[in-house]
Amino acid sequence: MTERAPHRRKQLVVLGHGMVGHRLVQAAVERGLTETYDVVVVGEEHRAAYDRVALTSFFEVGAEALSLLPAGAYEDPRVRLLLGRTAEGFDPTTRTVLLDDGTVLEYDELVLATGAAPFVPPVPGHDLPGCFVYRTIEDLEAIRDAAATATSGVVVGGGLLGLEAANALAGLGLRTAVVEMAPRLMAVQVDDAGGAMLTRHVEKLGLSVHTGATTTGVVEREGRVRGLSLADGTVLDADVVVFSAGIRPRDGLARAAALDVAERGGVLVDEQCRTSDPHVWAVGECAAPGGRMYGLVAPGYTMAEVVVDALLGGPGAFTGADMSTKLKLLGVDVASFGDAFATTEGALELVYADAVAGHYKKLVVSDDGTRLLGGILVGDASAYGMLRPMVAVDGVGGIPLPENPEDLILPASRGVAEVGLPDEAVVCSCNTVTKGQIVQAVAQEEDPCADATCVTRCTSAGSTCGSCKPTVKKIVEDWFAEQGREVDRSLCEHFSLTRAELFDVVAVHGHTRFDQVLAAHGRGHGCEICKPAVASILASQLGEHVLEPAHRTLQDTNDAYLANIQRNGTYSVVPRIPGGEVTPEGLIVIGEVARDFGLYTKITGGQRIDLFGARMEQLPAIWARLVDAGFESGHAYGKSLRTVKSCVGSTWCRYGVQDSVGMAIALELRYRGLRSPHKLKGGVSGCARECAEARGKDFGIIATEKGWNLYVGGNGGATPVHARLLAGDLDDQTLVRYLDRFLMYYVRTADRLQRTAPWIDQLDGGLDRVREVVVDDVLGLGSELEAAMARHVEGYEDEWAATLRDPEKLERFVSFVNAPDVPDPHIGFTTERDQSVPADSAGPVSLGASIPVGVPQ
């Protein structure tokens, strides 16, 4: 059977319905190509095109959420989609395509969009049951089924997709290892130092990493996978093996039709993506413009647009592609852009590394320091959206660098937000959208966009990998602000409300679960921004345990385990010591716990004792010992009150004029467990000498001869801010009343992850407005805010003790579900200064060592 459109119309046949094939059809419809062509699209999978960039999210959101064509068909009747069909071959002389069911399609123009296939090293056992690739939704479904009865997995390949696969295996509960033949992870995108930092991040999450390792075979037992053998003799346990060792262009159809192919594979095409046959085109991963295959979706999208332009008689040309990438792998931000490896002659490198924070940032600049050529960001890629458009190509163009370009990557700098982008700067490299196009979308007279979400729909900026969304949002907000218009402050793409507005609607409607809030006021499935924010709001209003079934999936890692995760995958335990006061018996118990569990102990800056190195399965036993001795959770893991620091006050100090210890203890016990937009710290000094450093805290109290002075909005950290006087000479009762109001006003109205200092600054009226609401009660909210705090105080329950009483909550505190008593073998310790420290620590500090000026330590 031969199919052809009526002779008065031409027929375009597209082989492949992945992301690039779908983009080509979209462009054909949008630009009017279907006025002269009927389009037939042949897809091998039974599903229409879906988002492979976000493939791993399939485990959370399902296949429907990934679909790029939810209706399963195109609205344009001149486009026909044939799914679950395979092209057996095509004949350039007769211009026909043979499908697997015997159908013959005639074409006037043929586009090959067949993509690439995973490369599986031909090692013994690679085809055993339990071996998989990571390419399609069907692959992920098979991996998920296998993981249900497995305990360990290995991913062969440490590139972008390999780390995505490792993330998936870890998320399925498997003890996971990554094997990479190159000397570092993500060898194509990051350098040795960046790869080392990425490896530390990955290992902190409990995965083992083997770089510079060659796979020699899959270990078989009883007919299926049981391990993976490496060239150095190491054998890794594995019930599941995922091969993600690269891809190869699917150019078999072109080879069979005698078209020219590149030396390393891929269909050779010219600048218009035309093959050696003038009526056959190739786009995406199967194509090799100039002999090079591009393995990212953005170049494929550009090729698709070029082909449609050529078919319309346009001058479009593919002359190369921006290979910049930004993504979050295993929760770690990684970005690479421009000439990341400083291959340009005379290029200079500016490097900032912070091993403690896990940040590695490198800028590659021209020899005169005026142009940005490229860069690498690991651990903190927040600057990527603004840095990438600044890049000069071949040393030409881009945005001139500031006088001190290192400021762009140093912490607490003025940041790249102050570097203006010209209209021609490409903000979204996936879809080649410029700043000018974004501004045009909101500035046009007819049907302008009202927010960043609309801009994404209209321009496609941020619709693919999503890394440019923060920049898109900032451009839109800045433009609105310049026009004197109200700026959209939506919490995220799933909620059009701010955090403060969401707090109010949750209270008004009485919602008790995230799904209720999302159904009533949001859209989609939620994300890593809105889930913890809503969890904090629910905790503030309900006072329920964070590990209740309705809440525990919303929590960040630290809240999910009621402890602070550390660099080697262990946790720290911080019992509350109100005001820094502790009995000798209490100190003895803490010491015994540290000794018996081999924990590193340190007195913190907040007058508490931190116990480091606890394995996850040890946490309940440690808590039990501490709870029995009268201690409770110090909430070192949560966005809540941490400490109220104090001096010894009038009890011991000859200068003290008030009992600062007693007040600090009373306040810490009153506000303990108060969930808030960000962490809170307090301090009480017994006299003006300020030994408790109260003015560096979110709320600070300094004794006077007449009572207490109350200071608010002080913050330490990267951007220190001194607290400012809210009210003076207060008695105890008035002090507490004002503090109740201040803290609840902050909890209700602050933005997500906003400390008290910037919160006060962004209020209309600043500190004066806070004083009006808290002291003068101009809104009449005083009693309401005090009542809300009273409910918190009355409903407080120690989270450690509550967990110990609940067998269901305790079930999560195991390293391995099927072996709860087995410790994680990847966690090791050594001894320094008679204390236990991670085995990969930097070693003891030598005071005789010199530290070069300007080198981050």
- The predicted-structure confidence for 765-783, as pLDDT tens digits, reads as follows 889 999 999 999 998 889 9
Residue 701 near residue 711, CB atoms below 8 Å: yes
User: Over 280-307, what HEC string results?
Assistant: EEECHHHEEECCCCCCCHHHHHHHHHHH
**Crossing angle for the helix pair 766-774 and 732-749, to the nearest 10 degrees:** 120
pLDDT (average), residues 453-473: 75
Residue 275 near residue 268, CB atoms below 8 Å: yes
- How many other C-beta atoms can be found within 10 angstroms of the C-beta atom of residue 680? 24
Q: Please report the DSSP string for 159-204 in residue order.
A: SHHHHHHHHHHHHTT-EEEEEESSSSTTTTTS-HHHHHHHHHHHHH
DSSP character at residue 393: B
**Residue 821's pLDDT band (boundaries 50, 70, 90)?**
low
Is the pLDDT at 320 greater than 50? The verdict is yes
Give, in degrees to the nearest 5, the angle at Cα 802 between 801 and 808.
125
Which pLDDT score, from 0 to 100, does residue 725 have? 95
pLDDT more than 70, % of the chain: 90
Is the pLDDT at 760 greater than 80? The verdict is yes
Is the pLDDT at 396 greater than 60? The verdict is no
**Residue 857's pLDDT band (boundaries 50, 70, 90)?**
very low
CATH class of 2-116+249-311: alpha beta
Q: What are phi and psi of 433, to 5 degrees?
A: -110, 130
Which pLDDT score, from 0 to 100, does residue 561 have? 77
**Residue 4's pLDDT band (boundaries 50, 70, 90)?**
low
Give, in degrees to the nearest 5, the angle at Cα 160 between 159 and 166.
85
pLDDT (average), residues 739-749: 94
Is the pLDDT at 565 greater than 90? The verdict is no
- How many other C-beta atoms can be found within 10 angstroms of the C-beta atom of residue 343? 10
Residue 774 near residue 768, CB atoms below 8 Å: no
pLDDT (average), residues 696-706: 94
**Residue 130's pLDDT band (boundaries 50, 70, 90)?**
very high
pLDDT (average), residues 577-594: 91
Which pLDDT score, from 0 to 100, does residue 393 have? 66
pLDDT (average), residues 589-595: 93
Residue 440 near residue 414, CB atoms below 8 Å: no
Residue count of the chain: 857
- 615 or 419, which is more confident? 615
Which pLDDT score, from 0 to 100, does residue 836 have? 75
d(CA 641, CA 674): 6
Question: Which residues, other chains included, contact 291 with Cβ-Cβ below 8 Å and sequence gap of 6+?
Answer: 262, 263, 264, 266, 268
Is the pLDDT at 846 greater than 60? The verdict is no
Kindly report, residue by residue over 627-643, the tens digit of the pLDDT. Answer: 999 999 988 888 899 99
Is the pLDDT at 455 greater than 90? The verdict is no
The region of weakest confidence among 118-132, 212-226, 410-424 is 410-424
- How many other C-beta atoms can be found within 10 angstroms of the C-beta atom of residue 223? 9
**Residue 655's pLDDT band (boundaries 50, 70, 90)?**
confident
Which pLDDT score, from 0 to 100, does residue 178 have? 95
**Residue 6's pLDDT band (boundaries 50, 70, 90)?**
very low
Distance of CA 830 to the CA centre of its chain: 32
Residues linked to residue 721 through DSSP beta bridges, in sequence order: 715
- 416 or 92, which is more confident? 92
DSSP alpha helix (H) spans, 499-648: 499-509, 514-521, 530-542, 557-561, 584-597, 619-628
**pTM beyond cutoff 0.75:** no
Is the pLDDT at 193 greater than 80? The verdict is yes
Kindly list the distances between the CA atom of residue 510 and the CA atoms of 146, 533, 786, in Å, as whole numbers in the listed order: 41, 16, 19
705 residue type, one letter: E
Question: Which residues, other chains included, contact 764 with Cβ-Cβ below 8 Å and sequence gap of 6+?
Answer: none
727 residue type, one letter: A
pLDDT (average), residues 394-423: 62
Is the pLDDT at 816 greater than 60? The verdict is no
Kindly report, residue by residue over 256-293, the tens digit of the pLDDT. Answer: 999 999 998 999 999 999 999 999 999 999 999 999 99
The structure tokens listed for 513 are 């679960």
If DSSP codes are grouped into helix, strand and coil, which group holds residue 465?
A: coil
If DSSP codes are grouped into helix, strand and coil, which group holds residue 633?
A: strand
- 366 or 324, which is more confident? 366
pLDDT (average), residues 836-855: 47
The region of weakest confidence among 173-182, 194-203, 452-461, 625-634 is 452-461
pLDDT (average), residues 569-593: 89
Which pLDDT score, from 0 to 100, does residue 189 have? 87
**Residue 213's pLDDT band (boundaries 50, 70, 90)?**
very high
Which pLDDT score, from 0 to 100, does residue 674 have? 92
**Mean pLDDT value across the chain:** 85
pLDDT (average), residues 729-740: 96
Question: Which residues, other chains included, contact 690 with Cβ-Cβ below 8 Å and sequence gap of 6+?
Answer: 702
CATH no. of 561-795? 3.30.413.10
Which pLDDT score, from 0 to 100, does residue 498 have? 82
- How many other C-beta atoms can be found within 10 angstroms of the C-beta atom of residue 843? 9
Which pLDDT score, from 0 to 100, does residue 310 have? 94
pLDDT (average), residues 804-827: 69
The structure tokens listed for 200 are 């530390």
The radius of gyration of the chain from alpha carbons, rounded to an integer in Å, stands at 30
Give, in degrees to the nearest 5, the angle at Cα 351 between 345 and 352.
170
Residue corresponding to tokens 């001795």: 629
Residue 115 near residue 16, CB atoms below 8 Å: yes
Is the pLDDT at 241 greater than 60? The verdict is yes
* Residue-range domain boundaries for the chain: 2-116+249-311, 131-245, 499-555, 561-795
Domains 2-116+249-311 and 561-795 share a fold: no
Kindly report, residue by residue over 533-550, the tens digit of the pLDDT. Answer: 888 888 888 888 877 877
**Residue 556's pLDDT band (boundaries 50, 70, 90)?**
low
DSSP character at residue 487: P
d(CA 811, CA 803): 10
Is the pLDDT at 718 greater than 60? The verdict is no
- 195 or 549, which is more confident? 195
**Residue 1's pLDDT band (boundaries 50, 70, 90)?**
low
pLDDT (average), residues 102-129: 94
Statement: 131-245 belongs to CATH 3.50.50.60: yes
d(CA 675, CA 600): 28
Kindly list the distances between the CA atom of residue 398 and the CA atoms of 136, 349, 374, 521, 639, in Å, as whole numbers in the listed order: 38, 17, 11, 42, 40
- 252 or 841, which is more confident? 252
DSSP alpha helix (H) spans, 212-288: 252-256
d(CA 127, CA 498): 51
Which pLDDT score, from 0 to 100, does residue 848 have? 39
Kindly report, residue by residue over 72-99, the tens digit of the pLDDT. Answer: 899 999 999 999 999 999 999 999 999 9
Is the pLDDT at 428 greater than 90? The verdict is no
Pairing mode, strands 680-685 and 641-646: parallel
Is the pLDDT at 10 greater than 70? The verdict is yes
Burial class (CB in 10 A: 0-12, 13-18, 19+), 803: buried
pLDDT (average), residues 219-247: 92
Which pLDDT score, from 0 to 100, does residue 467 have? 60
